[in-house]
Amino acid sequence: MWKFGVKTHFIAELQSLSEGERVKIAGWVYRKSELGGIVFIRLRDSTGVVQVVVKEGEASKEDVERARSAGIEASIVVEGRVKRDPRSPTGIELVASRVTVVGESPDFPIKPDSGEEFLLDNRHLHIRTTRMRNALMIRREVLRATEEWFIKNGFVRVEGPTFVGAAVEGGATLFEVPYFNRKAYLTQSSQFYLEAAIFSFENVYTIQPSFRAEKSRTRRHLTEFWHAEAEMAWADLNGMMDVVESLIRYIAEKVVERAGHILESLGRRFELPEGRFPRITYDEALEIAKRKGVLIEWGEDFGTEAERAISLEFDLPVFVTRYPKKAKAFYHKPDPERPDVVLCADLLAPEGIGEIVGGGQRIESLEELLSRINEEGLNPRDYEWYLDLRRYGSVPHSGFGLGIERTIRWITALPHIRDAIPFPRTPTRLYP
């Protein structure tokens, strides 16, 4: 890790030092107490927490006074010597010879009993807490594993633009933004741009934000979320599901391998059982939902409640395939054997989490795509360039979008999706 001039060691590195070694560390006051004139500071940096003992004799009277007056979250630099102490949870302490306060922190606002709204209003400070740091470290590992899987499997990263001219996922969730003397929208998905890129690179992906004006306030929707998307030339629906299954398994394995201890501190026991992910049809899923008392008509998309009921039937993520055509966007390829359903698949995560991936086979024929655009009452002129992809060397292809925050929420069992992202955006939250 990069180390800048102020410190000789990160806190995690102190473990390997022997009794008496002299070090200089820097961090923030995590806890503080005093007993018989001795000040005990639990100091944290990005790597861990260590107990610092500040007492007269080892340090000056002024050092003890500075330690005593440092508030929670004050930044301090401590010089001292390592003391092996079997009673301390980390096995070591630091006996301070010098304490310097770099940044005061009078009355840090985040308290153990702070309410949810207060914490959200103070998100810029809340992200320093153990719980948020743990959640964000899992996010880091999910993003890293996702990117790694794509690189290892030869996918080429291609980003879509953020400003776009037309909807991918339906007009209801479009964010409109002024664009000089025209209207633009924030992208809901980079799918169409990735579809254009398969003709150059065959297998492509991106990891970037998508924006959706989700009016319903749920525990699994953000208005800005990170979207890992992929498109694969020559892939059919089954090939797409194989890719998703391999990716999800890789993410789950790497997160456990690299950050299992963090999941544990979040109170989460996470393990993805062995075995292939089950693949069931919409019709079969509908039966499960109905049997469990969720009332839906054939043709409707599954809502939170139905997905919850279905996913609770399985201890692995489950693919639900072949949704009714009318429940899905126009670009999904109708099943040639049964044109009222499309060759799509949503992956529902277990434990009631519901959809974390949505994807399917795309229509490759120009005529069929045009007729679906007209059928949905969309303007073909908005999709001219997308139609070109079917005019020049069209190929069968499939793709999917994985919600990074939904995946994190599943792996961590966080109660709300907003804790899977540092600065969440929801219909009511634009600050900080």
Residues making contact with ligand ATP (CB under 6 A):
169, 212, 214, 221-222, 225, 227, 355-358, 401, 403, 405-406
* Residue 42 host element (H or E): strand 38-45
Q: For residue 272, which of 258, 285, 256 has the smallest C-alpha distance?
A: 256
220 exposed, middle or buried (CB, 10 Å; 0-12, 13-18, 19+)?
buried
Q: How far is the CB of 406 from ligand ATP (least distance, A)?
A: 4
Q: How far is the CB of 404 from ligand ATP (least distance, A)?
A: 8
Q: For residue 317, which of 394, 403, 395 has the smallest C-alpha distance?
A: 403
By C-beta, is 188 or 203 nearer to ligand ATP? 188
Strands 156-157 and 203-211: parallel
By C-beta, is 30 or 323 nearer to ligand ATP? 323
Q: How many angstroms separate the CA atoms of 358 and 348, rounded?
A: 9
What number of helices (H) and strands (E) belong to the chain?
11, 18
Q: First vs last Cα of the chain: how many Å apart?
A: 29
Q: How far is the CB of 264 from ligand ATP (least distance, A)?
A: 25
How far is residue 37 CA from its own chain's centroid? 46
By C-beta, is 32 or 308 nearer to ligand ATP? 308
By C-beta, is 394 or 426 nearer to ligand ATP? 426
Q: How far is the CB of 375 from ligand ATP (least distance, A)?
A: 19
Q: How many angstroms separate the CA atoms of 289 and 286, rounded?
A: 5
Q: How far is the CB of 222 from ligand ATP (least distance, A)?
A: 4
Q: Let me know: does 394 contact 177? Beta carbons within 8 Å.
A: no
Q: How far is the CB of 168 from ligand ATP (least distance, A)?
A: 8
What's phi and psi for 48, nearest 5 deg?
165, -170
Torsion sign, CA atoms 340, 345, 351, 352: negative
By C-beta, is 45 or 141 nearer to ligand ATP? 141
By C-beta, is 390 or 406 nearer to ligand ATP? 406
Q: How far is the CB of 167 from ligand ATP (least distance, A)?
A: 11
Q: For residue 168, which of 236, 227, 239 has the smallest C-alpha distance?
A: 227
By C-beta, is 44 or 220 nearer to ligand ATP? 220
